[in-house]
Chain A
Amino acid sequence: MSGLGIGLTGIGAMLVLLFLRQPVWLTLLLCGIVGNVVLNSGQVAQMVAATNLFDTSYNYGLSVIPLFILMGEVATGSRMSSELFNAARILLNGVRGGLPIATIAASGAFGAICGSSVATAAAMTRIALPEMRKAGYEDGYASASIAAGGSLGILIPPSIILLIYASIAELSIARLFAASMIPGIILMLVYIAVAVVLARKAQLGTRDAPVTLTQRFRALLGPWQFVVLFVVTIGGIYAGFFSPNEAAAIGAFGAIVLGVLRRALTLETLGVALQRSVVISCALFMIIIGATVFANFVVQTRMPDLLLASAEAANMSTASVMAAIILVYILMGCFLEGIGMVLITVPVFLPVVVGFGFDPIWFGVLVTILVELGLLTPPVGMNLFIIKSQVPDMKMQVLYRGIAPFLIAPLIVIALLFAVPEIATWLPDRLF
């Protein structure tokens, strides 16, 4: 069997195992090891598995992942997300669709210190959904605005997906964070536009109670600790004061200090945040270890090179290659979880995309938006599941119907990325 045949068989086996509900880390590792045995020998497979396991765990650069997760968990535990939502709610009082807009804006802001879409959606469901139900918004619309807003967590830096992409593609985390900033803000604005357009039909209840100018001003000052954390961490990276690892450590430390000073963080909640951070981080590292072994197998099959050569030999245009790749991501996003999707696809697609002359940083932003879309697309839209798990009385059909109009927003931003690639490349080029 040719290298391409072995590679395709490996990917096919991996997809089958994933659909047979085998854990992502296990599937990647198993397929990577078996693939290496077939291509080389048992001894090589053994060496590749052991060294990748050790080297991934003993890697200074990857310490950024648990540190940003810790920062997000501490911020969630110290109720920063609810303060952000309250501030946005008061500021937008009286505006049509004010609560959904506040939810999306607060989600985008919380994503800027949290880095996880699922955590953002979970926090906002607890905080914003009861308020929106009280204000008379339809369930589908209200939950869709939470799911859409929550998905911003992985695009607006710091982003766990971008950290993982940076580690596979061996790119600068700081450049990737800078690249995703403008598309993240644009996507948030497009989500808000969709929410405003839909608000007229979706609000069945009464208007908000009036709010004074003083209350609005106080609300503006409310989430000061979020501003401090964002300026210190992400601002510190952009200003060149800190490396991403340093910014993540200082952000986590700052979140703990702020939580303690504001008496929003007890020893117990800190312990819970710490344990959750460890379990989430270790689950991610297990997938990364599996993915590095699997990527090693894929690279040895020379599949990316063969795909690139086949596309060139077939005289495929750049547009059709990218359209095919985007279609694969959208289809996979309907069924697969985001991190696994990135780890499985990037080693295969990145060399092809770079071969066709695209910027890998730009592609990282595109992949992240596609993963974000995957968090919202039925049947497996992780953010929809998060809402459903917290609001069992809401039917999945209501969620699916509600999210449909919001799906246009990431597609618009993807089209913009193609039309004006500078929205992703301009800021990193200016800063670094």
Chain B
Amino acid sequence: MSALKKTDFLSRAGLWLAGAALIAIMMVIVVDVASRHLFDQPVRGAYDLVSIFLLIMIFSGMASVIAQRAEILIDIIDGAIPHAVTRALKVLASVTTVCICAYLLWAMVPPAMSAYRYGDRSLELNLPVWTLWVFAFIGMGALLVVAVARALDDFRGTGEPESHDR
């Protein structure tokens, strides 16, 4: 069984959460517009809610991008280089992804701590900003786990081909 398969539940759960967040973004705006035009009463905190759901969507959905190998890349040299070189470049990309994800997770600590320490709050709903950083950490953690699994698969040669269907 490939390592990526073992982390499938993580990317799937993230994908559904991200989908729910996207629907929530749409509904908050639709209700806000309807309420404003029909009853002259905008939804309180709509701006904050949309921003929060967008953050949840992005941090929950990024693991799926890695799991589905849906990143945009330029594969023009594929036909011109030996298969082994292509595989080596693929492993390089996977390993670099792990390094960058780990770096970002580490880099997120000081601003999150500072948001907690100084009690930063969101504009409309007055929510503590550190709670949003918690979502960011969970999403980035899941992304790192999936990235490690993909790197392992690529290293062992058990990975699936990239998706270039967009």
Contacts and interface: CB of A to CB of B under 8 A. Distances in A.
Interface of A: 18-26, 29-30, 33, 46-47, 49-51, 53-54, 57-60, 62-63, 66-67, 70, 116, 118-119, 122, 242, 245-246, 249-250, 252-253, 271, 274-275, 277-283, 285-287, 335-337, 339-340, 379-380, 385, 389
A142 to B, nearest CB: 21
Contact of A339 (B55, B72, B77): B72
B26 A278 contact: no
Nearest to B86: A21
B104 A278 contact: no
Contact of B74 (A119, A246, A286, A336): A336
Q: Which of A118, A249, A278 has the most CB of B within 10 A?
A: A278
Nearest to A49: B107
B108 A19 contact: no
A30 B95 CA distance: 13
A245 B29 contact: yes
B90 A21 contact: yes
B65 A20 contact: no
Given A50-B108, A57-B136, A283 B72 contact: yes
B71 A51 contact: no
A50 B73 contact: no
Given A62-B54, A279-B15, A340 B72 contact: yes
Contacts of B29: 63, 67, 245-246, 249-250
Contact of A50 (B57, B59, B65, B107): B107
A119 B165 CA distance: 9
12 contacts: A19-B76, A22-B93, A24-B73, A26-B100, A50-B107, A58-B55, A59-B54, A63-B54, A277-B22, A278-B64, A379-B76, A385-B164
B57 A274 contact: no
Contacts of A281: 22, 57-58, 61
B19 A274 contact: yes
Which of B26, B47, B53, B108 has the most chain A CB within a 10 Å cutoff?
B26
B138 interface: no
B134 interface: no
Interface in B145-164: 164
B76 A57 contact: no
Closest 4 CB pairs of A and B: A249-B29, A282-B61, A23-B71, A50-B107
B103 A49 contact: yes
B110 A253 contact: no
Contacts of A283: 65, 70-72, 166
A336 B75 CA distance: 10
B33 A246 contact: yes
Interface in B24-80: 25-27, 29-30, 32-33, 47, 50-55, 57-59, 61-62, 64-65, 68, 70-78
A251 to B, nearest CB: 9
Query: How big is chain B's contact interface, by range?
Result: 35 or more
A122 B165 CA distance: 9
B18 interface: yes
Contact of B96 (A26, A118, A246): A26
Interface of B: 15, 18-19, 22-23, 25-27, 29-30, 32-33, 47, 50-55, 57-59, 61-62, 64-65, 68, 70-78, 86, 89-90, 92-93, 96-97, 100, 103-104, 106-108, 110-111, 132-133, 136, 164-166
B92 A285 contact: no
A46 B93 contact: no
Nearest to B16: A275
B46 to A, nearest CB: 9
A59 B30 CA distance: 18
Given A275-B19, A279-B15, A335-B74, A252 B26 contact: yes
A233 to B, nearest CB: 12
B111 A54 contact: yes
B134 to A, nearest CB: 12
A380 B164 CA distance: 13
Q: Which of B64, B70, B73 has the most CB of A within 10 A?
A: B73
A152 to B, nearest CB: 17
A274 B103 contact: no
Contacts of A275: 15, 19, 64
Contacts of A385: 164
B58 A21 contact: no
B74 A18 contact: yes
A155 to B, nearest CB: 18
B73 A286 contact: no
A279 B111 contact: no
Contact of A24 (B52, B55, B72, B107): B72
Given A21-B78, A50-B110, A340-B74, 18 more contacts: A20-B92, A22-B93, A26-B100, A29-B100, A33-B100, A46-B103, A57-B59, A59-B51, A60-B47, A67-B25, A122-B165, A249-B29, A274-B22, A278-B61, A279-B70, A282-B62, A286-B71, A339-B72
A51 B111 contact: yes
